[in-house]
Structure 1
Amino acid sequence: MQAYVFEPEMVVPTRTALLVHGWTGEAASMSAFVEPLLAEGFRVVAFDLPGHGASTGRELNIPLGVASLAAVARVFGPLHAIVTHSFGGAIALAALAGSVRGQPPVSTERLVLIAAPSSITEITRQFGATIGLGRRGQAALERRIHVVAGNPVEIFEGALQLEAIGLPTLVIHDRQDRELGFHHAQALAEAGKFVTLEATEGLGHRRILKARPVAESAARFVAGEG
């Protein structure tokens, strides 16, 4: 695992924020969040998920992602906050909820989910439809997920995991996100009153990571100002 550590100047950090990128991304994808978090006095840790960036491996799934996140948390924890994008949000939710068998839950005090999926089941079935899987093929795919993850795909429903975790969470999602529609954010927001939903306009699924107001909003929330 390749990790990157950023220390604030003139401050002895007592809290750590972990950045988790999404599918086909890398630690550098989350670079816009580093400076605002440093300004709030946090040590910032980012890492490349398996098969991404400078980390080794040729594949990525939720169990591998959870194992890598847990490993980074053991080295750099305790974690005050986890800030995620896209599939990184699904990984963080599974890690925090203890949804992968054999992996003890990761702990943090605050969570930021940017353009995160609420339903791995929905995504799996959309994928199956896209590649032309019939009923039997889809069932076989979901059985394979059960074998790899140690739990059926339904266990990884984001809103249910978030409800079980119950920690202060900021959900940021663009209304024009074409990769993961805004309904994912709405479903996550329904997990409980501990969830704050912020909608953006016209940033899509990836440009949202480069928007300064998004990074600043995330940093304020992580610092307990939102």
Structure 2
Amino acid sequence: MTSRWLRRHAHRTAGTLAPRLAARWATDVFSSTRTYGLRPDDVLPLGAAPFTVHGDKNVTDGFLWNENATQGSALLVHGWAANSSSMHSLVPPLRAQGLRVAAFDGPAHGVRAGDQATMTQYTHAVGAVLDTLGDVRVVVAHSLGSIAAIAAIAEHTGHQPECAVLIAPPAALGAVLERWDGAGLHLTRPLVEGIYQELHHRNGVPVSHWDLAALGAALDLPT
């Protein structure tokens, strides 16, 4: 009898007796940023300098490479349940282009406190970093970080990046939810609909808002 089986059985029971509770439980699991249970050491990456992020309570600092560069900045945005170190291999080629390179751990990711986050929180954090840096020319984002990055650029009223590079981006958050295996939970259609409602409540916008094509449609930048 595995822990996965026990969790599935417990969740099936909760879904029958308390469907709203089951939806919140499932949404907690879906929103987890610690899939692998790992927390990196809070150390400065090789060759990087720290910088302070203004305007976001969940993300207060990040890392800079080539900080005295004068050709503008490149911002690296990692995927869900990852951290900024997953993007470090992109630092050397971007530095070689004369760019200052910035990275940060998203809300409840990496060295941040917590183990759950929302797309709204991640989007706000990306926007705060864009505002703090002020001269971002290129945004490179991975996986669900792509949706947060494009949403932040779409909302951003300051300096606009010249281009965005999206690595393995999902088409929409809803598509991710529809393909989700439940991480051992007992997923039924009513429960999935409950997750949609709970995500709407937590994010302040419906899941359909997090659609990459729709968010990027009004942007005048190559991707």
Note whether the superposition's TM-score is higher than 0.5. yes
Q: Given the superposition, is the C-alpha separation of residues 68 and 167 from structure 1 closer, same or farther in structure 2, using an over 3 Å criterion?
A: same
TM-score (norm 2): 0.66
Q: Given the superposition, is the C-alpha separation of residues 12 and 140 from structure 1 closer, same or farther in structure 2, using an over 3 Å criterion?
A: closer
For 1:132 and 1:49, locate their aligned partners in 2 and report how far apart those are by CA, in whole Å. 29
Q: Which of 131, 140, 152 lines up with 2:194 in the alignment?
A: 140
What is the DSSP-based 3-state SS (H/G/I as helix, E as strand, rest coil) of the residue aligned with 1:19? strand
Pairing 1:45–2:102 present: yes
The gaps in structure 2 that reach 5 residues or longer are 1-58
State the Cα distance separating 1:89 from its structure 2 match. 0.6
Pairing 1:6–2:6 present: no
Q: Which of 86, 93, 99 lines up with 2:150 in the alignment?
A: 93
What is the DSSP-based 3-state SS (H/G/I as helix, E as strand, rest coil) of the residue aligned with 2:104? strand
For 1:38 and 1:140, locate their aligned partners in 2 and report how far apart those are by CA, in whole Å. 45
Map of 1:210 onto structure 2: none
State the Cα distance separating 1:156 from its structure 2 match. 1.1
CA contact (8 A) 1:19 1:27 kept: yes
Pairing 1:110–2:170 present: no
What is the DSSP-based 3-state SS (H/G/I as helix, E as strand, rest coil) of the residue aligned with 2:175? helix
Number of residue-to-residue matches in the alignment: 163
For 2:96 and 2:158, locate their aligned partners in 1 and report how far apart those are by CA, in whole Å. 29
Runs of 4+ in 1 over 6 A off after TM superposition: 103-106
For 2:158 and 2:192, locate their aligned partners in 1 and report how far apart those are by CA, in whole Å. 29
What is the DSSP-based 3-state SS (H/G/I as helix, E as strand, rest coil) of the residue aligned with 1:4? strand
State the Cα distance separating 1:114 from its structure 2 match. 0.3
CA contact (8 A) 2:135 2:159 kept: no
CA contact (8 A) 2:122 2:148 kept: yes
CA contact (8 A) 2:78 2:142 kept: yes
State the Cα distance separating 1:104 from its structure 2 match. 6.4
Superposition CA RMSD, Å? 2.2
For 1:118 and 1:89, locate their aligned partners in 2 and report how far apart those are by CA, in whole Å. 10
Report which structure shows greater RCO (CA 8 Å, sep ≥6): 2
TM-score (norm 1): 0.65
